[in-house]
Amino acid sequence: MRLCSACSAEHQADALSRGVDSQRYAELFRSESREQLSAINRALLELEAAPEGREPVHVLFRAVHSLKGMSATMGYAAVAAFAHELETLLERLRTGDQVISAELMDALFAAADVLEGGIDRAVDGAGDPPRLTEVLEQLRHVAGGRSTPEFRAKTDEFSNAAGGFPGESAGTPAAAPNLDEGPGVLVRVRQRPDTMLPGVRAFLVIQKARGLGDVVAVSPQLSELQAAEVPQAFAFRLVTAMSVSDIESAIIATGDVEHVEVSAGRGRQRSAVQMSTGEEAAPVSKGARHVRIELARLDTLMNLIGELVINRGRLMQLTAGNGDPALDEVMTQTARLVGSLQSEIMASRMVPVWQVFDRFPRLVRDAARQLHKEIEFQVEGKEIELDRSLLDEIGEPVVHLLRNAVDHGIEAPEVREAHGKPRTGHLTLTASRERSAVLVRVRDDGRGIDRSRVLSRAQELGMVGGDVTQLDDEMLFRVIASAGFSTAVVVSDLSGRGVGIDAVQARVRQLGGVVELESVPGEGTTITLRLPQTLAIVRAVLAQVGGERYALPLTHVRETLAWSDGAVQHVQGREVLVLRDEVLPLMHLRQVLRAPGEDDPETADIIVLERGNRRAGLVVDELTGQQDIVVKQFDAVRDGLALFSGATILADGRPALIVDVGSLL
């Protein structure tokens, strides 16, 4: 494996002079790098599970090579130098000169961590990662050697490297090859005029092409492309068995590509200048086109559409019954347009859960090794979509649940064998959709929760009366979700500090969701987070009690009905709702709120609430309709009994509190 080609002296000076411009694109570089780091971690996990596989090694090599070139282009010398050294070792894996061992895998995982930390520190301007040299020495030691003598010197000078491909010689780049003739197909690419970081984007196109086959020539030279500061037009020869349409789609998918053309025969060579300025852009007919947008902009759009939804409701209320057909028609069209705009903005914020879930396999792997446990981890439902802001918020709660499952749930291999179980425990993270809610479920096949131990500890703390002899799932969850509760004898780095389930409970309730628990001794534990698809705008049923109105998210409303003496009965001194073949407990919202007065059976309505497998009837003075409401979040009370999860402004401009159904069921 040869060292990548160096830039000319003129380019070196130019690279230094554009340091300020590089900072402008630092966050874009960080975002692009995270995609490569995610691919590296996935490939490492696949390689550890099946060391004989070759594809993970190729994925690793391509991802590290991409990071090296991108880092060199940005001027992040230490990261680029480290990636080059790692790439050299991966080349030995590709050729079979290096044997894969447990020690090597640990070193590769540590190297991935150093790359991630190095990129973050480089973007933040915090200097080189502290463990860079140490981890490199570890890699070389495991591989039967030591770091190359020039490594430290290369760290200082690597910003001058451009990350070329085999076939490019060191020193001043050679003249661009003539691509009129040669093997394979000729691919011409033109970048969009507003392309950010064009040199990095061009490099990614070539990297994508290398994944499709062999890139045998590039014009202009890749080192020249990587140094580009303005959008480029370039061409390359690609030897591949893939179809023209597949090549076009793959190249377009890299982003910021305005036009791609694939031709198989002899054709007129066009320079980058001619392609970018002398011809009309041809329409791109295949592949999706994407634009990266800061989440803050989407948040602003969501806030604006939220206010527009409120004003739409007020306008419709003010113009209702005015007797002007033209005004009614305009209002109907406006309401429809606002609704379509709301749907599109909300859809633009929806992202698949794998964007957060992809980091969890590595987390579980490291935790299991730390505790000397054997765990098979599976992620299901990666394609399920959630609002981006909500997805970011659930990451920490899921981390708590996974760590608890690894630490407390799944037993050590020898313990599992002694109980007739396989040595390897199973841990599953699942995302699924249920009506308008999304369920995130963590399930393990471990020991389950020791109810007698939890009961004993709860009685010691005065949380449960001495006359209680057993805990059902609901009581069990209430106890372990209490702040500071823990039965752990030994405090570990993973859990056992009395923070975990209570933190999950508080965070999920702030998001308008609920937490459910099922545990069977000896068989395992399942914890489910039931979440709304979005935090911003939801459909709600409006109810009135004592002159005040309240909103109940439609996600938890099964049906509504008028009070009926035949349906409302008394069983063992308690009011119940007999609904077809079901007997449901009955609550009065007035009593829950401690509001004065009494319910009038002649005018009262009942809302049938549903949360998972639990249902109940809620008596209110009056149902006033349904409405899209804009949710304004506020912090939930941490005692587990908070009644409201947020507030909203109704169509008439009056505020209303949003009832947290999880606190009622």
Distance (Å) of CA 430 to CA 223, 380, 442 = 44, 5, 7
The SS3 of residue 351 is strand
The answer to whether 260 and 252 are in contact (CB under 8 A) is yes
- Phi/psi for 410 (5° steps) reads -85, 130
Three-state SS across 17-46? HCHHHHHHCHHHHHHHHHHHHHHHHHHHHH
In this model, does residue 344 exceed pLDDT 80?
Answer: yes
Model confidence at 285, pLDDT cuts 50, 70, 90, reads very low
Distance (Å) of CA 178 to CA 58, 217, 221, 345 = 29, 9, 11, 47
Model confidence at 592, pLDDT cuts 50, 70, 90, reads confident
Model confidence at 283, pLDDT cuts 50, 70, 90, reads very low
> According to the model, what pLDDT value does residue 422 have?
94
Q: What is the pLDDT of residues 14-44, one digit of tens each?
A: 443 344 345 557 777 888 888 889 889 999 9
Q: What is the pLDDT of residues 175-220, one digit of tens each?
A: 556 777 788 899 999 998 878 778 878 888 888 888 888 888 898 8
Higher-pLDDT residue of 254 and 219 is 219
Model confidence at 378, pLDDT cuts 50, 70, 90, reads very high
For 435, counting Cβ atoms within 10 Å of its Cβ (0-12 exposed, 13-18 middle, 19+ buried), the class is exposed
Q: What is the pLDDT of residues 434-448, one digit of tens each?
A: 877 789 999 999 999
Minimal CA–CA distance to 584: which of 559, 614, 541? 614
Tokens of 501: 């389930």
- Rounded to the nearest 5 degrees, what angle is found at the Cα of 436, between the Cα atoms of 430 and 437? 35
Separation CA 354–CA 35 (nearest Å) = 12
Higher-pLDDT residue of 431 and 532 is 431
Please provide the DSSP assignment of 486-531 as one string: ---SS--SSS-SS-SHHHHHHHHHHTT-EEEEEEETTTEEEEEEEE
Tell me if the bond preceding 220 is cis, omega within 30° of 0: yes
The answer to whether 385 and 433 are in contact (CB under 8 A) is no
> According to the model, what pLDDT value does residue 286 have?
44
